[in-house]
A and B are shown apart, each in its own frame.
Chain A
């Protein structure tokens, strides 16, 4: 079946409607990175890093929920004509820009309060965290069967990213390492962002491929042979 932009757009629209009607959830999505930031705002650079990487809890959490809460409907949608990739891209199309809006507002607030050396690089770093969080949430949501397991994996991975030494091997293997590097470089007058951006893009694509494989398995619908 060919990919349909209209089907992707409808999926994005419906996920947008669903999420924007969850007012308490949206408030928490905004409050979560803010609380990470304000909890350590007195300690200088670490507050910006904690808040910036902490953004990933919000966006990947929202993404995870959108995948796992519609597990039963998704297979019925595939039976009704959608492709697994269209279901994924529909979520990506809404949650990517949604995460970007939160990221830009949040990085603007951090710039005003913490005065990073390069505010635009900070905005870029937080935006990269938000964008990377969508394929990460999609991959975790597609690979794990239930919300509890998915949430624990999110907490584990992001918590490790925040607490592990940036020079350690484990930190470098995690999905937000490069975004963290960009945020860290925004606090200084120099530092390359090209390589971290490239690495994040590759990592994001790999996560999307993983999500695609698991979603296709989960919502698989057998096409029966037609009767003569």
Chain B
């Protein structure tokens, strides 16, 4: 399968602290890659660089198709409902109100989100907010999925369901990168990339 995400020599520093140093990574369409590493290794920073939310100091990221990004902390409007979020995010991609809700409900129902509940996100549990967060990343059927610990707060059933979905996304030809600390599930991914804690040890290849 062709590459859908290619990271070449990406480096990032904050002040004197080196977060990422010469990172290379390629992810093919139809491949699920787990990104692991200690706290502070730069996993979330790398995901944000791939999503375009922060600029790398050096290096290049190239992407085939649309990106779906699910941040670690769900950035949502506290007094808007799930419907409001679906419509707002769908409109950004040119979807009509009806299409946004239809597609959003499909994803939300798969993860057991109570779509009939019209509660504002402030009144939702952490896991339920995270389901909405994930649905917003999937709303426009992106070809590249960047998921930064997307299952935080999920109950056991939804957590297992999430990894089942990774299999489906692989079959659909999506390139999926999941930041995870859940070592028990690593056998379900195609490759595991560990970001080193010390940038001096950070020269590693795509490993494919």
Contact = CB atoms under 8 A, between A and B. Distances in A.
B140 interface: yes
11 contacts: A7-B91, A18-B80, A21-B79, A73-B75, A76-B71, A79-B67, A80-B89, A224-B52, A224-B63, A227-B5, A227-B63
B79 A18 contact: yes
Interface in A170-228: 220-227
B195 interface: no
A168 interface: no
A77 B55 CA distance: 17
A138 B6 CA distance: 37
B77 A70 contact: yes
Contacts of A82: 92
A42 interface: no
Contact of A18 (B64, B77, B93): B77
Interface residues of A, number: 28
A21 B120 contact: yes
Contacts of A22: 79
Interface in A47-97: 69-70, 72-73, 75-77, 79-82
B117 to A, nearest CB: 16
Interface in A3-35: 6-7, 10-11, 14, 17-18, 21-22
A75 to B, nearest CB: 6
B92 A227 contact: no
Given A226-B64, A227-B63, A17 B3 contact: no
B94 interface: yes
Chain B: interface size category: 35 or more
A77 B92 CA distance: 7
B63 A79 contact: no
Contact of A80 (B55, B73, B140): B140
Interface in B58-89: 60-64, 67, 69, 71, 73, 75-80, 84, 87-89
Contacts of A10: 87-88, 91
A222 B75 contact: no
A17 B84 contact: yes
A196 B33 CA distance: 61
A143 B148 CA distance: 29
Kindly list the 3 A-B residue pairs having the minimum CB-CB distance in the complex, ordered from nearest. Answer: A72-B75, A81-B92, A80-B92
B34 interface: no
Contacts of B67: 79
B4 interface: yes
B53 interface: yes
B93 A81 contact: yes
Given A76-B89, A222-B52, A227-B64, 5 more contacts: A7-B91, A80-B89, A224-B63, A225-B60, A227-B3
A93 to B, nearest CB: 14
Contacts of A7: 91-92
Nearest to A90: B88
Contacts of B132: none
Nearest to A70: B77
Contact of A79 (B64, B69, B80, B120): B69
A146 to B, nearest CB: 16
B59 to A, nearest CB: 11
A14 B52 contact: no
Contact of A224 (B61, B77, B140): B61
A10 B53 CA distance: 23
- Among B53, B64, B88, B94, residue most surrounded by chain A Cβ atoms (within 10 Å): B88
Interface string B20-45: 00000000000000000000000000
- Among A10, A79, A80, residue most surrounded by chain B Cβ atoms (within 10 Å): A80
B93 A73 contact: no
Contacts of A6: 91
B51 interface: yes
- Among B5, B6, B53, B67, residue most surrounded by chain A Cβ atoms (within 10 Å): B53
